[in-house]
Chains A and B, each alone.
Chain A
C-alpha cells in the first residue's frame, strides 16, 4: 500500500485566493482526519470523517474552511479566502480504529 497520499506537497498562494488540499486515505480505513500543525499550537484536529460522514468539525477555525469526503478514497480541505494566518502544515491521516493513525507527508501551505 502506498500509504496516505496528500497533494500538493507545497502550496504558495496569495491572500484571498482559494486553496484546495487533497488526500487519498489507505484503502479500507474507515476514519479520515485533517490536522493542522504549527510551531505555536502543535497538531490541531480540524475535522474527521467516519465512513465518509463528517463526525466532528469543531476544530474548523471558521467558515472559510470546508472539508468534503465524496467517497471512501478521496477527501478535500478547502480554504476560501485564504489568509496569512492559515500558513501551516496540513496533514491528512486515516485509520481503521482509534488504535493508530497513518499520516500523509503533509501539505506545507504558505499564504503571502
Chain B
C-alpha cells in the first residue's frame, strides 16, 4: 500500500511569512500533484511534477519533486490571507507503471494566514 505523509498537519502564520509543506513516502511515484481545497469545494489542481529533482514555480508557490520521486515540498513566499486553505499532495502510479490512473492522497495541511 502506498502512503503519503504530509507535515505539518496545521500551520497558522501571519501575512508576509514564508512556509514550507512536506509530503513524504517510502514509495516511488510516477508523478506527484499538489491541490488546494477551500471549504465547500473540491480540490483544485495546482501543479504536477513528473521528473525527479524537478522544480516548478507558480507565482509565489514553488514545488519540488525529490530526486528519488518519493517526496515533494511546497514553499510559499510572503503568504497572503488568500492562500488560506487545505493543501493536499497526491501521488500517481508507481515505479512499475501500474495503477496508472489512480491517485493516493496525503492527509493534507490546513494553512491559515492571518492578516
Residues on A lying within 8 angstroms of B by beta carbon are 4, 31, 33, 35, 42-43, 45, 48, 50, 55-56, 91, 93, 95, 97-106
Contact = CB atoms under 8 A, between A and B. Distances in A.
A4 B45 CA distance: 13
A101 B43 CA distance: 9
A106 B101 CA distance: 20
Interface in B22-58: 30-31, 33, 35, 40-45, 48, 50
A99 B48 CA distance: 6
B45 A100 contact: yes
B99 interface: yes
29 contacts: A33-B103, A42-B105, A42-B107, A43-B88, A43-B105, A43-B108, A45-B102, A45-B103, A45-B104, A48-B101, A48-B102, A55-B101, A56-B102, A91-B43, A93-B42, A95-B101, A98-B93, A99-B48, A99-B92, A100-B45, A100-B48, A101-B43, A101-B45, A103-B42, A103-B43, A103-B44, A104-B42, A105-B41, A106-B40
Contacts of B44: 103
Contacts of B30: 98
A105 B48 contact: no
Interface of B: 30-31, 33, 35, 40-45, 48, 50, 88, 92-93, 99-108
Given A42-B105, A43-B88, A56-B102, A99 B43 contact: no
Nearest to B47: A100
A24 to B, nearest CB: 14
Given A33-B101, A91-B42, A98-B93, 7 more contacts: A4-B42, A43-B105, A45-B103, A55-B101, A99-B50, A102-B45, A103-B44
Nearest to B45: A100
A48 B102 CA distance: 8
Contacts of A104: 42
A93 B37 CA distance: 14
